[in-house]
Amino acid sequence: MGHVIIIGIGKLNYHHHLNKMQHITKLKLAAVHQFCDVEEKSTEYMYALMQDTCKVDIDTVNSYMVNENHEKLFREVNQLVELIIKIEN
């Protein structure tokens, strides 16, 4: 799974923004990120989809992409999906 690195922005610029991001927002962004990775969507498409479906601004998307542990969030999203599937069955 590919990861986007924002060149010239740096982690520190988004540190304060990251602390204010709710965990549910991180999970929503991770779900979109994982979907776009699996479907081999472009970075531009992924960023637009994150903003539209998660109702966040570009700074929030950049903060997520630069600062988050994506693999951990992917595991959490997958666990939620598995739980939903079990409940539906």
DSSP state of 10: -
- How does pLDDT run along the chain (89 residues), one tens digit per residue? 444 433 334 444 444 455 578 999 999 999 999 999 999 999 999 999 999 999 999 999 999 999 889 999 999 999 999 999 999 98
pLDDT at 19: 59
C-alpha pair distances (Å), 39 with each of 7, 21, 53, 76, 85 = 24, 26, 16, 19, 21
* Structure-token match 């986007």, residue found: 4
pLDDT at 21: 87
Burial of 41 (0-12, 13-18, 19+ CB in 10 A): middle
